[in-house]
Amino acid sequence: MDELINDGARLIRESHAILVFTGAGMSTESGIPDFRSPGGLWDRYDPSDFYYQKIISDEKSREKYWIMSREAYGVMKDAEPNRGHLAIKRLEDKGKLLAIVTQNIDGLHHKAGNSSEKIVEIHGTSRTVSCLSCGKKYDRGDIESRLESGVKVPYCDDCEGILKPDTISFGQAMPQDKMAESIRFAAGCDLCMVLGSSLVVYPAASVPVHASDSGAPLMIINRDETPLDGRAQLVIHDAIGKTLDRMMGLI
């Protein structure tokens, strides 16, 4: 293991434009369970109930959606960044961070202090809610207060349009601009660090693929194997926080 840590530290030392790609495993050490894991959210709720088309077409589906969404948001709202997030903040402080592309919707990279312009949330964010008709944005906390006060399905103050958290739902297209931005970062990085992503969700996983195709070395830190392990210069199957801590200690 020491050798792997040394190899990782060397890759970071030699790099000046690192693209960090993060998935659910990044936030489990902050107490946010992987919703796709056994016993997770998608074990208890049927994802097919929450297809975008259903949410926008049916009031009952929206009511169910908000029950599920509140449970998810409940575990995210008070979560704090962990050692892994803080290590990525240190990469930015050292001028080595090109960008963070994250599959996570928990906002923990923002909370860790990374600059907003360096963070691309390709699956959106749970921290804001938008009106699907007029685009008006709401703070998630304000909408939570309404739900707590007994409102089952909130609507827009201005136009009575449907409100939805700014996360990408099943059946909803990925935002083209965020994907394009991510691919640009992938093309311009000189190291791609994949942290806590199983790399099975597309098109998100195409971002590290593109970085590798563009010639950047890949470093993968994830509990389990990933389909890209064979292409990576360095693979560590271990916890992210302690692994990055040790690596950063050698930078």
Q: Where along the sequence are the contacts to Zn ion (CB under 5 A)? A: 131, 133-134, 136, 156, 158-159, 161
Residue with Cβ nearer Zn ion (67 or 159): 159
- Rg of the Cα atoms in the chain: 19
- Alpha carbon distance 9, 190 (integer Å): 14
Rounded distance, CA 140 to CA 137, Å? 9
Two structure tokens written together for 212: 């590798």
Is 123 an annotated catalytic residue? Answer: yes
Angstrom distance (rounded) from CA 160 to CA 154 = 9
H-run or E-run covering 166? strand 163-167
Residue 157 C-beta: closest distance to Zn ion, Å: 7
Residues 100/105/106/109 CA torsion (nearest 10 deg): 10
Closest separation in Å from C-beta 247 to Zn ion: 46
Rounded to an integer, what distance in angstroms lies between the CA atom of residue 10 and that of residue 156?
Answer: 51
CB of 161 to Zn ion, least distance (A): 4
Closer residue to Zn ion, CB minimum distance, 164 or 246: 164
Whose Cβ is closer to Zn ion: residue 133's or residue 206's?
133
Residue 163 C-beta: closest distance to Zn ion, Å: 8
Contact 81, 111 (CB under 8 A): yes
Q: Which of 109, 110, 123, 210 is catalytic?
A: 123
The whole-angstrom separation of Cα 114 and Cα 102 is 12
Pick between residue 77 and residue 136 the one whose CB is nearest to Zn ion: 136
Which residues are part of the catalytic machinery? 123
